[in-house]
Amino acid sequence: MRPLTDHTPKPMIPFHGKPFAAYLVEMLKEQGIEEVVFLLGYLPEVVMQYFGDGKQFGLSIKYSVLPVEAETGARLRGALDQLQENFLLLYCDNYWPLQLRKLEERWKASRAEAMLVVYSNDDQFTKDNVRVSDAGLIEAYDKTRTVPGLSGVDIGFGLFSRQHVESLPNGNVSFEKEVYKKLVARGQLAAYVSMHRYYSIGSLPRLEDTKEFLRFRPVVFLDRDGVINRKPPRGQYVSTIEEFEWLPGSLEATVLLSEAGFRLCIVTNQAGVARGMIAAATLQKIHGRLTEEVESAGGRIEAIYCCPHHWDEKCFCRKPQPGLFFTAQRTIHCDLTRSYFVGDQDEDGIAAERSGCRFILKSEERTLLEIAREIIMENKI
């Protein structure tokens, strides 16, 4: 990361006026964390001077400083008296939108001694270094990334217990080599597999995407039929431009949200394509007209994500599966946990839960325009 780190520790690289580590601390505060311990080596005074005792962030911050060459195991052992019985370990070069309650619930249900967050890496974003069993346990962990059958990436977020630190041998030991290896051998290292991309300061080429993500520009995902336009009868589809009919207040809602600073994306199932009831080219023309009408009114649809598959194909992009949301997340670099999804049926709510979005149900009694006003008031943008 040189020359950026010549005089600055990597976690203190600035984005939008504050260091990367500040985003992590703020996220931990939002998740209910009350105490943070920084394990420092390189230029520790830079970190300590910025964060102080943590009061300005609404939590307590402590520090443990060892030489630069100290491995994570040695650093944890040096901070043993500052660790709780169970603790969250974060490596400060990755940001992943933590949902601590879900993480703890999954850990408890797994009955494993420890748990790591694993990025699914189905998009081959980086090289795999773990293999997860069907039972949700990590059965291979390989930092060299050469073991056959690896699928998934440890992102440096994990739940552990003090006993794992207390059992470390003396010396400058690697936590991964000493603890992870033994946990895997015992079948006691669970995986929380996430399809939400993590954002890194580990290499210069990734900084632009990280910078865009950390803008935290709010996104509202909108279902199409029944939310934006009048829904056709069951088993039928909007098959021509003329059949597309805006619901009362929906066009105005897209303008209001756009003017308030929200990014708008549409996510829609259109099995009529697979069923031969509408041509893909026609669907594209309908969406082109939709986008044009929003722009003419003063709003903006950033992207439209569509599943054209038949429901019998059991694809991962057809709601209530969350595939469209994760495609959007990786494309526009948004935080799904800070996003909204407005849908008109129960399966939309399931898709929101699976993707991490906040769900809002649109009904005949509750227009999209009313929902838009509520979202804007809640965020006070």
DSSP structure class, residue 239:
-
Distance CA 52, CA 47 (A): 8
The two beta strands, 199-200 and 94-95, are antiparallel
- What sign for the dihedral angle of Cα 315, 330, 381, 295? negative
- What sign for the dihedral angle of Cα 154, 157, 160, 164? positive
**93, 154, 223, 335: which one is catalytic?**
223
Distances (CA, A) of 332 to 169, 215, 295: 45, 11, 19
Distance CA 164, CA 159 (A): 11
- What sign for the dihedral angle of Cα 84, 89, 95, 97? negative
Write out the H or E segment, with its range, that includes residue 208.
helix 207-213
Distance CA 116, CA 140 (A): 12
Which residue has tokens 């019998």? 312
- How many CB atoms are located within 10 Å of the residue 4 CB? 14
- How far separated are the first and last CA of the chain, in Å rounded? 35
3-state secondary structure of 317: coil
DSSP structure class, residue 229:
B
- How many CB atoms are located within 10 Å of the residue 227 CB? 26
225 in catalytic set: yes
Catalytically active residues are 223, 225
